[in-house]
Amino acid sequence: MDNVEDYQLTLQNIEFLSSRIYPGIEILLVLDGEIVVEMDSGIYHLRENDLLVINRNQLYQVRAVKNNTVLTLRIPDTFISKYDEEYRQYHFHLFSQQIDRGKENIMAQLRKSLAELLITYSRHEKGGQLEVHILICKILLTLILRFKGERSHVDELDVNDQRLKEMISYIKQHFDEPITLEDVAAHFYLSPSYFSRYFKQQAGIGFSRFLMTLRLEHSVKDLLYTKDSITFISMKNGFPNTKSFTNLFKEVYGETPHSFREKNAQEQVDVVKNYQLDGSETLLESPEIIMKLGVYLSDGDDSATFSNTETHFEELKLDVTSSSRKKLNHPFKILTIGELQELQKINVRTQMLLAKKALNIKYIGIHQLLSGRTIPTAVETDELIPTTSPYYNSDEVIEFMKTNDLSLFTHIAYKEIASDEQVFLQKLQHFLRHCLQVFGEKYVSSWCFMYSANDEDSEHVQRFYGTLYKLLKTMVPSIQVGVLFPFSFQTGTTDDQHKWILLQKEQIDFIAFQASSNEMVDFKDIIDDQYLAAKDFIRKKTEKLKHYLKSHAIEKPLHLITWSSFSGNTRYTNGIFFRGALILNDALTIAEDVESLGFWINTEVHERMVGGRNIPLEGMELFHYFKGKRPAYYAMSFFSRLQGNVISKGEDHVMTENETGYQIVLMNNKIVNPYFSIEETFSQKLMKEVRVTIKGIPSGEYQIRKYVFDKDHGALYKGWRENNSKFGMDAEIIDYITHSSQPSLEVFDERIDGEWSFYSYLSINAVHFFELRKVVV
């Protein structure tokens, strides 16, 4: 297998490698021991498991520090250029000790690929040459996608002209190609004559002379440190032929290249032991090497979260010394439970307390306050003094709410009371009088009543609202009374039946509304601009509603009681399409505009309240049927965890500063047809790589906590799908799914001296949450 594109694979014990250059890239992996690699770009001390890439035509030498075993892969220019024509224009920046945090998984994959390459090569099995080719391509792809950067020129001319610097940089990147003055002039959109005059005037040397001198400098290195023929060296460095190379060389050095080499060539005295890779027997004789390769293979499997698919790359630069600071606003949360009686159930109370702790729940949303099962219908009795109270159940539940600092957010729908308005008002008056007596005015004043009407006669609807408002305010002056305001995003207005609300503004304490990104999409279309229109729909509708109300001189607190980020139109796509970042981003973008955000407590209660219908557009539940936390729970818990003053906020990130340090949220917001989520290759193309650099961090020791919330860490449906069975699920399986479906946590220590940088690879709609906690010494 020695002729697979003329690559070279060696396993060596190195004492000393004399100075050399290679027309391609070299990848060094230290299996054990220590070596030092000296290059013009620096001195690199490699220890066990370290990786280093030596770039093309880079002069280097190697010496041992400790007894070592080093795996080296050399891939020539001819191989790489066949697949990447721009390869010669950049360098690979890879030294494992100097990579930014976040690339550990990529390093593990590289080690695994090199281990597989060594094992495949050693076995000499049928088809091995093809497998070697595949592995080399995989390694190259990783380098190109993750580690390429601009070539650095250590000996640039000292010039102040930025345009000339760009010209010189371009020439140095292409000197070994058959470029001409006309080529360079065209690249910079100049005429050849003007470019020639400009270059000589600014650089102090003509273009042709500069180019040939540059080629000559590189040729001298080849003469001194390689055994390549003079003809090969001249062609390799861009000379049109050997004669032109020899003539210029004699002009500058006063002798021929051959004579110069004989007098000055460095003696290649290498002290190295090569392990034989001609057969598997020799390699397998070393159990230490086999164990080391086994570790690489297993680590690579565990760490291979991200494939070598081309991802969108972004660079995010933050500066904590920025004077801009604004406190992050956190809207209250409304947790709708249906009837008040639901809170008598242990599992509902458990879920409510979890949500209260993690999500900043303030209100418990209920329907049918007086007509439901919580307050039974009065029964006639001949007792002079009743021995029971119709409010026994409600008292117990409300006391539980008061103890946990939760208030009622009651929905009064006109259609449910229209048949007997007076009876309802009488019941409400008795209930409020009782609550004031038992729980006190201060607590009852924290309640909210929301009134809604559909297609009923607007005159009756308006009249009843006025009566309801007067009753509530007379009994509890500080209680909040508002209306549910239907608003169309498409028309930018409300319907005729609800325009009475615009005239009733003096008797309205708040405006409630609903919004769902799904409103913008016809899911029958596979690819449509509507999917793009759904992006930021919640924010756009909120802003549009505020503008509409302001045009009618109405500026009241807004409650977004029912909302949903883009999800899908079936239970299947709702589950498969992970949308954690969409939920969090929507909440963040409207945080300044709304008083509260509404959620349903769980799927079971939600379905029962809407009559068992599909519920793609009617809000988000925090919990599933069996106590499992849905993505909305985790998305909002990250929002609640984000505290302090905002240093920077963008479409896909937020950074805050608080008393313990700093917090950073990264998101990869993508709206696509949910059916595409089942196609792994398509999903991988929507991944995003972010390099974050933070300047101005006070120097010191920090504890870093990194949470990853994505389709593999926190998506309940994934565990449900992978652990389901046609023979059903029992409590053990369900309990495992609910406990294992949560964001991952990684904790590490970091010494930061003013600046910190790291990488994050985010799958579709992933959230990465970082906390930098300053260590008190």
pLDDT band for position 301 (cuts 50, 70, 90): low
Residue 667: name the closest of 575, 588, 566 by CA.
588
Region of 24 please: left (phi>0), alpha (psi -120 to 50) or beta: left
Q: What percent of the chain is predicted at pLDDT more than 90?
A: 42
Q: What is the pLDDT of residues 349-400, one digit of tens each?
A: 999 999 999 998 999 999 988 876 677 665 555 555 555 678 888 999 999 9
Average pLDDT for residues 442-456, to the nearest whole number?
92
Residues 138 and 173 in one domain: no
Q: How far apart are CA 104 and CA 108, in angstroms?
A: 6
- CATH code at 212? 1.10.10.60
Position 523 scores a pLDDT of: 66
The 10 Å Cβ neighbour count of residue 122 is 22
How far apart CA 1 and CA 20 sit, in angstroms, is: 25
- Beta strands per DSSP E along 375-467: 407-413, 448-452
CATH number of the domain to which 705 belongs: 2.60.40.1500
Instruction: State the pLDDT at residue 155.
Output: 45
For residue 624, tell me if it sits in a domain.
Answer: yes
| Strand (E) or helix (H) holding 393 | helix 392-403
Do residues 20 and 101 share a domain? yes
pLDDT value for 303: 44
In this structure, what CATH number is given to the domain that contains residue 97?
Answer: 2.60.120.10
How far from the centroid of its chain's Cα atoms is residue 187's Cα? Answer: 37
Tell me: pLDDT of 616 over 50: no
Which amino acid does the sequence have at 701?
E
Picking from 622, 641, 660, the residue at the C-terminal end of a domain is 641
More confident residue, 364 or 227: 364
pLDDT value, residue 31: 93
- Number of neighbours of residue 335 by Cβ within 10 angstroms: 23
584 versus 276: which is more confidently predicted? 584
- Of 358, 448, 352, which is closest to residue 403 (Cα–Cα)? 352
The answer to whether residues 365 and 496 belong to one domain is: yes
- Count CB-CB contacts under 10 A for residue 345: 13
87 compared with 637, residue with greater pLDDT: 637
3-state secondary structure of 228: coil
Domain boundary among 235, 264, 293: 264
Nearest to 390 by CA among 430, 448, 436: 430
Average pLDDT, the chain: 85
- Using one digit for the tens of pLDDT, what is the confidence trace for 34-55? 998 888 777 789 999 999 999 9
DSSP run (H or E) holding 690: strand 688-709
For 126-146, the pLDDT digits (tens) are 777 888 899 999 999 999 888
Domain boundary among the residues 614, 641, 668 is at 641
**257 SS3 class:** helix
- Kindly tell me if the per-residue pLDDT of 460 is higher than 60: yes
Residue 410, pLDDT score: 96
- Count the helix, strand and coil residues of the chain and give each as a percent rounded to the nearest 5: 40, 25, 30
User: Among residues of the chain, what percentage have pLDDT more than 70?
Assistant: 87
Q: Which pLDDT score, from 0 to 100, does residue 356 have?
A: 95
The answer as to whether 462 is a domain residue is yes
661-667 and 653-658 as β-strands: parallel, antiparallel, unpaired? Answer: antiparallel
Task: Reduce the DSSP state of residue 748 to 3 states and report it.
Answer: strand
The answer to whether residues 541 and 590 touch, using CB atoms and an 8 Å cutoff, is no
Residue 141 lies in a domain: yes
State whether 231 and 338 are in the same domain.
no
Query: Is 612 in the same domain as 517?
Result: yes
CB 458 within 8 A of CB 464: no
Q: How many CA atoms lie within 13 A of 770 on its CB side?
A: 27
| Separation between Cα atoms, residue 664 and residue 657, nearest integer Å | 9
- Give helix 104-123 / helix 287-303 axis angle, nearest 10°: 130
CATH of the domain at 409: 3.20.20.80
pLDDT surpasses 70 at 251? yes
Q: Are residues 91 and 143 in the same domain?
A: yes
For residues 361 and 156, which has the higher predicted lDDT (pLDDT)? 361
* 268 has pLDDT over 70: no
Highest mean pLDDT (candidates 94-103, 258-267, 653-662, 735-744): 653-662
As a whole number, mean pLDDT of residues 210-228 equals 82
- Rounded to an integer, the average pLDDT of 405-417 is 93
Quick one: pLDDT at residue 239?
Answer: 87
408 plus 448 within the same structural domain? yes
The pLDDT score that the predictor gives to residue 669 is 92
> Residue 273 domain-assigned?
no
Is residue 270, in this structure, part of any structural domain at all? no
Q: The tokens of 260 are what?
A: 């110069």
How many domains is the chain partitioned into structurally? 4
Model pLDDT, residue 378: 58
268 three-class SS: coil
- Look-up: residue for tokens 């101005």? 696
Phi, psi of 709 (to 5 degrees): -125, 105
- In this prediction, residue 360 carries a pLDDT of 87
Decide: helix, strand or coil at residue 58: coil
pLDDT band (50, 70, 90) for residue 212: confident
In a domain, 269, yes or no: no
pLDDT higher for 470 or 276?
A: 470
pLDDT for 553: 94
Task: Give the β-pairing of 271-274 and 8-20.
Answer: antiparallel
State residue 1's pLDDT score. Answer: 44
Tell me, yes or no, whether 302 and 355 share the same domain.
Answer: no
Q: How confident is the model at residue 203 (pLDDT cuts 50, 70, 90)?
A: confident
pLDDT of 307 reads 55
- Is residue 95 within 8 A of residue 44, CB to CB? The reply is yes
- Say yes or no: 520 and 411 in one domain: yes
Q: Which residue range(s) make up the domain with 421?
A: 330-641
Residues near 611 by beta carbon (within 8 Å), at least 6 away in sequence = none
- pLDDT tops 80 at residue 456: no
Tell me: do 73 and 99 sit in the same domain.
yes
Write down the pLDDT at residue 502. 93
Average pLDDT over residues 263-281: 65
The model carries a pTM of 0.76
Average pLDDT over residues 582-595: 95
pLDDT of residue 281: 45
Is residue 471 predicted with pLDDT exceeding 90? Answer: yes
Pair (637, 707) in one structural domain = no
CB-side neighbour CA atoms (13 Å) of 372: 19
- Work out the pLDDT band at 214, boundaries 50, 70, 90: confident
Q: Is residue 474 part of a domain?
A: yes
Q: What's the CA gap between 86 and 63, in Å, rounded?
A: 33
In a domain, 272, yes or no: no
Higher pLDDT, 695 or 683: 695
Of 268, 266, 285, which is closest to residue 276 (Cα–Cα)? 285
Do residues 364 and 487 share a domain? yes
CA–CA dist 654, 657 (Å, integer): 10
The continuous run of DSSP H or E covering 421 comes out as: helix 421-439
Tokens in use for 116?
């597989």
Phi, psi of 43 (to 5 degrees): -110, 130
CA distances from 226 to 55, 382, 733 (A): 16, 114, 64
Could you give the maximum distance between any two Cα atoms of the chain, in Å?
129
**612 against 340, higher pLDDT:** 340
Mind listing the pLDDT tens digit for each residue in 316-332?
A: 999 998 877 889 999 99
**pLDDT given at position 466:** 94
